Amino acid sequence: MHRTIVLCLLAALHVSALPLSAQDKTADQGVYTAAQATRGAEVFSTHCVTCHREPGGTAPVLAGERFTKSFADATLQAVFTTIQTTMPRNAPGALTEAEYVDIVAHLLRLNGFPDGMNELAVDELVEIKVPGQGGSLEFTLVQVVGCLSQAGRVWTLGSATDPVRTRAPEAATDAEAAQLDSDPVGTRIFRLQQVYGAPPGWTGQRVVAKGFLTRSGTEERVNVTSIRTLATPCAN
């Protein structure tokens, strides 16, 4: 039976609120709230999902590679202007400005960008960029797979895979774990933050950890939201 540990992580959420200069601010830094994205999802469901659905839609799904290719390195103003001038298909510009901003928040959440403490405002859109495919993942919710080890109070994930953006802070599902368990080992090392204890037997076990990626000097850290053991043990 797999084992999981889920951690409350207010500290990691506060990281996203660090002050940034306008030119450095990206959608990775928690630029909208969960409530705002929920409102945007409701507006999107009412006015946009008929076209932007898979399968059967007449317009592309606005998530994943399509979103990145369309808006990588663009500002959120470009995202806002695109949807305001083209959607809904039969009545572009028919929604309120606030509703279009809420849809931008929904699209950010749909594409795995974390929420934050403050709502996205229309006058901020021009200052915030969508990171490109090769952009920084710092402060982003990611998942990594590696071998768990402990030295005193320090937990480390060694032989770890490259971090991958995720939208779900909770532990991996059975299906996700089975797929991740078949992936080859990596070469990265991450220090795991906010891990105050783990059940006996976890040391030396291969796990999938999710959390917010940060850096301190050359050390990469994951502020953990959940950990789940995988079936394959680590090599000695």
Question: What value, to the nearest 5°, has the Cα angle with vertex 207 and ends 4 and 8?
Answer: 45
Rounded to whole angstroms, how far apart are CA atoms 224 and 9? 7
- Classify domain 22-127 by CATH architecture: Orthogonal Bundle (1.10)
* 210 neighbors 180 (Cβ within 8 angstroms): no
HSE-CB for 202 with a 13 A CA cutoff: 23
Please state which CATH class domain 4-13+139-233 belongs to.
Answer: mainly beta
Residue 13 has pLDDT above 90, yes or no: no
Residues in the chain: 236
For 14-73, the pLDDT digits (tens) are 333 334 344 468 898 899 999 999 999 999 989 887 676 655 455 666 777 678 777 877
- Averaged over 140-158, what is the pLDDT? 88
The rounded radius of gyration (Å) of the Cα atoms in the chain is 19
Tokens describing residue 91: 């009545």
Task: Indicate the domain borders of the chain.
Answer: 4-13+139-233, 22-127
Give 175-197 pLDDT, tens digit per residue: 888 888 888 889 999 999 887 76
Residue 134 has pLDDT above 50, yes or no: yes
More confident residue, 71 or 221: 221
Quick check: 100 pLDDT over 90?
Answer: yes
Exposure of 210 in the CB half-sphere (CA atoms within 13 A): 24
Query: Percent helix, strand and coil across the chain, each rounded to 5?
Result: 30, 25, 45
